[in-house]
Amino acid sequence: MIPIAMPLLGEEEADAARAAVLSGWVSQGPTVAAFEKDFTALTGAAYACAVSNCTTALHLALMGVGVGPGDEVITVSHSFIAGANAIRQCGGIPVFVDIEEGGYNIDPALIEAAITPATRAILVVHQIGMPCDMVAILRIARAHGLRVVEDAACAIGSDIRLEGEWQPIGRPIGDVTCFSFHPRKVITTGEGGMLTTDDPEIDARFRLWRQHGMSVSDTQRHASRDVVFEGYPVPGYNYRMTDIQAAVGRQQLLRLPGIVAARRALAEAYAERLADMDGVLLPWEPVWARSNWQSFAVRLDPALDQRAVMQHMLEQGVATRRGIMCMHLEPACADIPLRHPLPRSESARDQTVLLPLFAQMTTDQMEAVVAALAGAVAAGMPGALRAIA
């Protein structure tokens, strides 16, 4: 079976995790701090705060920019449900707008119509690793005094061109950027997340909130030559990353350039092989964006049945995933008022298939995926001729 994804882990990560275990400090400690320092070096952000996963990162980010009960947050339905959950955990109200034509990210042209006096922030998602049009989004946010949180769960290693220069996603364009280290992402710590920001006050809040609102951290108490009693000035959460995870994460960051280069080469190879396949529309990359290709998403002709295509490929030994979910179609979000129609989001969910893509993927595996897709398309569109590049 060719999997949809496969994390690239090796002896280096195993040795690093072993060293953390044997150090005696396995919860949040010095290795987490070192991982955060590595992350600021990677992204150019002033601050990086490690947490237990990207969902907790989103929760803290939204709290950090002031989202509270009754505040509206403009975002997309076309994303993992964690986005809506995090908004609601703050007491906020998700306001869904549609995605761009032919793509998978928020359509900036639809944002202003969704702004009301209750709007506090915009939560943008760099979906499947492809950067959003941040120039247009920030222009709107600044004009209306709104905060911007970037959900970059899939986008570590992606780049965006601003004012003629390339910069990594994670060097804050908005107020806060959130990352995921889940195994389906480009690098992994098993579970884990990171927040980057240039705002020292917001970063200080994150560090307080992630550790129960504790006034003095474990590492500070441990290093003190005097007895220290901590206090709890604000309510907080247990959103800590462990030193074991951070040890793995530091090794993964060393692999990141090679992983991203491999994924970009694989995406190019997919594009060459699928360019002439009827019934399949390839993803596109704006001139101002460089994706890490966390996923390779192909759009099927409406005449094709998505589930049937995926089932055919599964029977050929190829795992796939359907297009990104739409939160507003899930029972958990049925109580969220839908103020704007979302036809592009719904068609993207129902007509998109994510193909296997991972750094270790071989040419033979790619050829098998392409052949399985060609067979599935041919079976689903009677009378159509199929060609494989």
Question: Closest by alpha carbon to 114, among 135, 93, 90, 83?
Answer: 93
Tell me the one-letter amino acid at 152.
Answer: A
Residue 32 and residue 246 in contact, taking contact as beta carbons nearer than 8 Å? yes
The closest alpha carbon to 172, from 321, 360, 43, 260, belongs to 43
- Nearest partner of 134 among 157, 168, 102, 101, judged by Cα: 168
Q: Could you give the CA distance from residue 355 to residue 75 in angstroms, rounded to a whole number?
A: 26
Rounded to a whole number, what is the distance in angstroms from the first to the last CA of the chain?
23
H or E segment at 253? helix 243-274
- Beta strands in the chain, from DSSP E residues, in sequence order: 47-51, 72-76, 93-97, 119-125, 147-151, 159-162, 165-168, 176-180, 193-197, 280-281, 289-290, 296-300, 321-322, 352-355
Say which residues have a Cβ less than 8 Å from residue 227's Cβ, sequence separation at least 6.
none
CB–CB of 53/273 below 8 Å? no
Give me the active site residues, please: 185
Contact 271, 209 (CB under 8 A): no
Which strand ranges, in their side-by-side order, compose the sheet holding 352-355? 280-281, 296-300, 352-355, 321-322
Neighbours of 310 (CB within 10 A): 20
The pairing of strands 147-151 and 159-162 is unpaired
